[in-house]
Structure 1
């Protein structure tokens, strides 16, 4: 198995509270992987260490075999680690085409005036158009983001993260607050991303998790309780007792 992202003996303490407790985690290249656990399990703290928001108390984080444990957030993005948040981080006054062009322009080193560059930069135009089409944003690309339905805003946020061309994409509850009818479409877009993009989904919706993921990791009290296929996780007695209860999945 080729590895995209990995942690070794990762620990994070806040005073006398251990939020991440010696976690060894592996995200395979091309994976569609979900991280689950009850409230307070340590999922957000763990992901914050992956992305550089928090520095581990001990242990190591590697991206594509490179130690990134002490790298700042911006440097991790530059090396291919992108993230979305539970609450979207979009600029409401911008349009989708402006948002995608801004991220793409930054990645291509075109500076911070993407609309001017769109008039003359064929590469920027082509990449922006491809991403808008992939995420089915063509028909609303010139509308102000703040006026769009929440489900569309989540699509735009994922599209903007994808515009950074990550090798690893971390999605923090991307479907939270999105109407059920739009959730399947949103996650189908994510599942259909190129195979060289490894996806780690942090999610509470178990139906969504079991439809999307080919591998699932369970955190409880900051520790890795289980890691396996959806079938293995659904039938693990320890997982049932700690988290899933008696709700079964095929």
Structure 2
């Protein structure tokens, strides 16, 4: 039996006369590794911004674990377990890895006012930080300011910060964007090792990453869902090839 953790029903967003999303009805199942792909301008970022509360729908519904969240504030969606990463890193540039993780963990625990206290002064937080540092291969850079980290490590830290929020649903917005080719294999490996109980929606242009990570793919074109299916179904669909993938790429 499949359980739907995130769902949209006839979701629309307009900007004046422009339809950014059109009647998008989408389901993310519990434990899914689901990719959302589409050409530039397809409306992928708009859809993610609707899901996370950056934008308000013009019409339609968004449900998280069966509860309507279309009017719920962004921070409250995070508290309910809906967490995202960004196409462009959103890091605390002057803080180091440990301080950044401590800040997020403290905020999650309702101790934001104590976020700059010495990490060891809060029971249990050091073990959680150590686990995240290990899981995301950040051992060698823990004392470096985030702004000075290699870009691949910045990407891994951003994902670690998202996991520190204890998400039930994680939206990954182009996690490999800007990552040097030499570092992509590590990013892909860390993505593959994300907790199985976290349902993941991946937005990505790197089709190698998509085909290796996802078990289901949705294709968005001109703000509307164009196709949906397994990796094999999407990679061999002639209409998808024509509008997005391109026969030569596949």
TM range, smaller chain: over 0.9
Q: CA RMSD in A?
A: 1.2
Matched with 1:102 is: 103
Matched with 1:153 is: 154
Task: Check whether the contact 1:175–1:186 (CA below 8 A) recurs between aligned residues.
Answer: yes
TM-score (norm 1): 0.96
**Aligned partners of 1:152, 1:199: CA distance in 2, in Å?**
20
Task: Check whether the contact 1:42–1:220 (CA below 8 A) recurs between aligned residues.
Answer: yes
Task: Check whether the contact 1:102–1:112 (CA below 8 A) recurs between aligned residues.
Answer: no
Give the CA deviation at 1:112: 3.3
Query: After the TM superposition, which residues 12-161 of structure 1 pair with which residues of structure 2 at under 5 Å, given as runs?
Result: 12-161=13-162
TM-score (norm 2): 0.96
List alignment gaps of at least 5 residues for structure 2.
Answer: none
List alignment gaps of at least 5 residues for structure 1.
Answer: none
Q: Secondary structure at the match of 1:174?
A: coil
Q: Secondary structure at the match of 1:210?
A: helix
Matched with 2:194 is: 193
Give the CA deviation at 1:115: 4.5
**Aligned partners of 1:75, 1:36: CA distance in 2, in Å?**
27
**Aligned partners of 1:135, 1:38: CA distance in 2, in Å?**
30
Give CA deviations for 1:12-41 in whole Å, capped at 9, x if unaligned: 111111110001111111111110000111
Give CA deviations for 1:140-178 in whole Å, capped at 9, x if unaligned: 111111111111111111111110000011111111110
Q: How many residues align?
A: 249
